[in-house]
Amino acid sequence: MRMALALAQAAADAGEVPVGAVLVNEATGDVVAEGANAPLAGHDPTAHAEIVAIRRAAAALGNYRLTGLTLYVTLEPCAMCAGAISHARISRVVWGADDPKGGAVVHGPRLFEQPTLHHRPTIEGGVLASEASDLLRGFFRARRGTGVAPAR
């Protein structure tokens, strides 16, 4: 999670909403891929940290199924990211800050609880939550009144 927080800080430094993600092989502890929010830089609304990390891991492993991996992400995944996590068959998801407004795991649609979902990862929230929340709060506090509408 500390690596994900460092990626989130790098995203903030680049003007992106500070969210970072790291995919780790559960058996070896090796980092398979990482990602940071980049929708502004990439002109891509799907470039959330989780999606960036998932795309990189799939390319690195030569497989769209990412079983045996744990995703560490600094913010509760949104519906788009939760859907991608399920499709990729990621085994476990660990996040820092809850997202009551945009989250889709324990908030909103609670996607992993839907009976039609083909895969449900093990989930754990609140890991280094205060650090992740502080980073997000500081980012948005600095942006207030600037006229810049940050993307997730």
- DSSP assignments along 65-133, one per residue: --TTEEEEEEE---HHHHHHHHHHT-SEEEEEE--TTT--SSSTT-GGG-TT-S---EEE--TTHHHHH
Tell me the two tokens of residue 20.
């970072």
For residue 34, indicate whether it is catalytic. no
118 carries a ligand binding annotation: no
Q: Is 107 annotated as a binding residue?
A: no
The CA distances from residue 82 to 23, 115, 137, in Å, are: 14, 14, 23
The radius of gyration of the chain from alpha carbons, rounded to an integer in Å, stands at 14
Catalytic residue among 50, 76, 124, 131: 50
To the nearest 10 degrees (0 to 180), the angle between helices 2-13 and 129-143 is: 10
Which residues are documented as binding site?
Answer: 48, 78, 81
Active site members: 50
Which residues are documented as binding site for Zn(2+)?
Answer: 48, 78, 81
